[in-house]
Amino acid sequence: MAFSVNTNAGALFALQNLNKTTSQLNTIQTQINTGLKVSSAKDDAATFAIAQTLRGDVSGLNAVKSSLDRSQSSIDVAIAAGEAVSDLLIQLKEKAVAAKDAGIDTASRTSLNNDFGQLRDQITSIVTNAEFNGTNVVKAAGDAITAITNDTGSNTITIAAQDLSLGGGNVTITAAQGISTATTAAAAVTAIESSIANVNTALSELGSGANRL
């Protein structure tokens, strides 16, 4: 006579327990592999649907965080460049005011003019290299910063570019500006004072934008 678990109560009970344990083991194994308590709609349809919606929201918010971080880094670089330009303008003003003195000798004026040219050219170097991730906010025709602020990307913060290049919108001294004579030095002082005021305004705009971010 063939043996059958259907006619053996003890064996049938053991088989049921084994099947139950195997099912539980498969469930635990799936949870371990996926890291999710509910990994499929067949596990719990309602919970899975809610979880998928939340995952979509989290993914969108991760993109928002990345956008804000990138924008914050870009504006930090721009502000650092603007502060450096402002410091250089102050040094340029000192040279120009000294060269404005009609009583200094030619050698001193030449030395002042050379120093002036080196400081002036540093502005171009700083502005050109004030770039983060392909974004330069302070160059001529610079890049505006735009950051997304919600998980659908429909809301944004935009911070306008500020031109800090020589002869640009804010820095009125030009790449050819010099102080080789008392007259040109006087003109340079006027241009520098205007530039300092403009750059301070630009820095204020960038600082406000950074606070918004």
Q: What is the pLDDT of residue 198?
A: 97
What is the CATH number for 88?
1.20.1330.10
Residue that is written with structure tokens 């950074």 in the block: 210
Among 72, 100, 81, smallest CA distance to 168 is for 81
Q: Does residue 3 form part of some domain?
A: no
Asked if residue 81 and residue 29 are part of one domain, the reply reads no
Residue type, position 137, single letter: V
pLDDT, one tens digit per residue, over 151-187 is: 888 899 999 999 999 998 899 999 999 999 999 999 9
Helices within 39-147 (DSSP H only): 45-99, 106-129
Tell me the C-alpha distance between 14 and 29, whole Å: 22
Tell me the C-alpha distance between 4 and 7, whole Å: 6
Asked if residue 165 and residue 113 are part of one domain, the reply reads yes
Q: Compute CA distances 129 → 164, 167, 182, whole Å.
A: 12, 17, 33
CB 113 within 8 A of CB 154: no
Asked if residue 93 and residue 33 are part of one domain, the reply reads no
The length of the chain in residues reads 213
Q: Does residue 56 form part of some domain?
A: no
Tell me the C-alpha distance between 162 and 75, whole Å: 11
Asked if residue 93 and residue 27 are part of one domain, the reply reads no
Domains in the chain: how many in total? 2
Q: Does residue 65 form part of some domain?
A: no
pLDDT, one tens digit per residue, over 14-72 is: 767 777 777 667 666 666 666 666 666 776 788 778 877 887 777 878 888 999 999 99
Sign of CA dihedral 175, 176, 177, 178: positive
Domain span holding position 29: 10-39
132: helix, strand or coil = strand
Q: How far is CA 177 from the centre of its chain?
A: 33
**pLDDT score of 1 more than 50:** no
Asked if residue 200 and residue 96 are part of one domain, the reply reads yes
Confidence of residue 200 (pLDDT cuts 50, 70, 90): very high
pTM: 0.76
Q: Does residue 180 form part of some domain?
A: yes
Q: Does residue 52 form part of some domain?
A: no
**pLDDT score of 189 more than 60:** yes
Asked if residue 123 and residue 21 are part of one domain, the reply reads no
